[in-house]
Structure 1
Amino acid sequence: MEIWILITIAAAFVQNIRSGLQKHLREQMGTAGATFVRFGFGVPFAMAFLGFALLATDSELPVIESDFWGWIIVAALAQIGAQALLIMLFTMRNFAVGSAYIRVEPVLAAIFGFVLLFETPTLPLVTAVFVSVVGVMMITMAHAHVGIWSLASAVTKREAQVGLASAAMFGLAAVSFRGASLSLGGPNFLVQGGVTLCIAITLQAAIMASWIAIKDPADFKRIAIKWKTSLMVGFVGALASFGWFTAMTLEQAAAVKAVAQIEMLFAFATSYFVFKERMNKREIIGCLLIVCGVLVLALMS
């Protein structure tokens, strides 16, 4: 199994932990505050990861060219925009329909990769993306009245459009982060991923801090009260992002995003073994399809 697949699976596992912690924080300090801690408290850890990469590989910092700044600004803003659309989706009536469309992110990442980076998807990649996306959509719609094959008729609904827009922004962010990392030209995937992470997370922290300062300065006090949990979110968030960026330096963003769907399996494992919750037939089939998608990439890449 190639190293980028192992890195992606590890990043997905860590992100599952971060999502749980952020959900808890969101109830304590609101969406903006919970989003900020992911970036703001992650900056020192990102710096530490980069320092480790430099020491472990005995490398020097790469020279940053103008192309890098173009990619990183687009990526940082796209990711924030995608998150804002996702939050908007939470408030909509038919959340399940919108959520299902978010899961097509690997497909859109493949399209953006082809248009922006001139990367041609291979047959194993197309197969893996299709299989994993269908699997995740089946899980997402497992308890909804609308069926997996009737989603096409729901594309005109506002929640579906918001979900697609969020997926598109996430896909654009992923490809742009890959473009930024590749533009560094070396010295290796660990350092390139670390540099990309440090600059991106610092930029995003500054943007979110400015937003909170303008919209709700009291959020800073609530963040200070929950600093221990916030610190943990910052650590696991930066660790997951370091994994994503290094993996996307090695492989197309669409492939990384396809393997990253395995995060759903970690969530279901927690649900089944910790909370003793049962899975229905559609959820089981969806999980098996995700595993098949990952195996296609692992065995045919």
Structure 2
Amino acid sequence: MWIFFTLFAAFMQAWRNAFQSQLSRDVKTAGVTLARFLYAGPLAWLYLGALYLWQPAALPQLWGKGGLFILGAAIMQIVATALMVQLFKLKNFAVGAGLAKSEALVAAILGVMFFGTTLTALGWLGVLLGTFAVFLLSAGSALRSLSWRTIVIGLASGASFALTSLWVREASLNLALPFPHRAAWVLALVITIQTIILLTWLWLKDKPTLQALWQRPKLTVATSVSSFLGSFGWFSAMSLTAVPYVKTLGQVEVFFMMLISFFWLKQPVKVKDMSGLVLIALAAILVLWN
């Protein structure tokens, strides 16, 4: 089941990134980050309510470790998303995005060191191969003009996304509920906290950015809906299995992004891109075979 959720999440995240990239041309970083959560919160609570109507369960105890992990994941995902949006604005965006995809490797290292994650030799090989493949796809000749700012922001984004994923899994494991309910509670609470933080900040500090989002309803709604569906997939998958496996398989997002670029943005696929896709496919096979 985690395989299905991961593939669905990767597909929706590819669309979310495409919408965010377009929105970032006219809206500041904080606004684009808020667009990811703005309409996702109500959808998350509707999903949670429907889940309880379908299969009643107890309410979670949110104090203690579970609540702290939820709060940490919410804040860290805001940081990670803001850093990713900054990459959209840089000249070497593709390279920075590739560095941000170091998320799977960072999650594996931090997971083993601090969160009790265990990976087999095949699992490690899949994680390393997938990380190399995504960076190969993103880098190419642009490495020669790579700036330290791009490197730092890219790696910081990857590390922040990795911590978000690890804390999401820990939060889910600390809620004494059956699988779909615990994942749904973490999803709804994380998105709600993020929305409140960003809305409050922009209302107090930068109301013109809120107006800019209001003036672009289609892109804002598209970003929020695709983000909710992607987060639904990620949170569900990470409730079921180790984060490094989810994130390595999730690198097939690059394949979906290329399909979007080819069919929607009318951009050709290069031979180098095909070789990178083959490596990502091998990484996914190793993770699934593990």
Same fold, TM-score > 0.5, yes or no: yes
2:99 counterpart of 1:101: yes
Q: Secondary structure, in 3 states, of the residue corresponding to 1:29?
A: coil
Change (3 A) 1:225 1:288: same
Alignment equivalent of 1:174, drawn from 155, 162, 165? 165
Change (3 A) 1:292 1:56: farther
Cα deviation per residue 1:262-294 (whole Å; 9 max; x = unaligned)?
A: 111011122234455332232111011111111
2:16 counterpart of 1:40: no
2:109 counterpart of 1:111: yes
2:110 counterpart of 1:78: no
Cα deviation per residue 1:68-94 (whole Å; 9 max; x = unaligned)?
A: 121112111111122233334445454
Q: Percent identity?
A: 32
Partner of 1:280: 270
Q: CA deviation at 1:249?
A: 0.4
2:204 counterpart of 1:202: no
> What is the 5 A alignment of 1:143-222?
143-146=141-144, 157-187=148-178, 189-222=179-212
Partner of 2:125: 127
Partner of 1:236: 226
Q: Distance in 2 between matches of 1:164 and 1:116?
A: 19
Please report the TM-score for the alignment, with normalisation by the length of structure 1. 0.88
Mean Cα displacement is larger for which, 33-42 or 242-251?
33-42
Partner of 1:150: none
Change (3 A) 1:100 1:79: same
Conserved? CA contact 1:135–1:287, under 8 Å: yes
Partner of 1:151: none
Structure 1: tracts of 5 or more residues without a match: 148-153
Conserved? CA contact 2:58–2:177, under 8 Å: no
Conserved? CA contact 2:33–2:78, under 8 Å: no
Alignment-mate amino acid for residue 138 of structure 2: T
2:48 counterpart of 1:53: no
Alignment equivalent of 1:6, drawn from 1, 4, 17? 4
Q: Distance in 1 between matches of 2:185 and 2:165?
A: 15
Change (3 A) 1:44 1:108: same
Conserved? CA contact 2:95–2:135, under 8 Å: no
Change (3 A) 1:230 1:89: closer
Alignment equivalent of 2:20, drawn from 9, 16, 22? 22
2:167 counterpart of 1:138: no
Q: Distance in 1 between matches of 2:63 and 2:44?
A: 21
Partner of 1:66: 64
Q: Distance in 2 between matches of 1:90 and 1:17?
A: 15
Change (3 A) 1:96 1:40: closer
Alignment-mate amino acid for residue 157 of structure 1: W
Q: Secondary structure, in 3 states, of the residue corresponding to 2:61?
A: coil
Q: Distance in 2 between matches of 1:193 and 1:259?
A: 19
Cα deviation per residue 1:44-80 (whole Å; 9 max; x = unaligned)?
A: 0000111232233343333323111211121111111
RMSD: 2.2
Q: Distance in 2 between matches of 1:230 and 1:89?
A: 19
Change (3 A) 1:99 1:82: same
Q: Distance in 2 between matches of 1:268 and 1:62?
A: 40
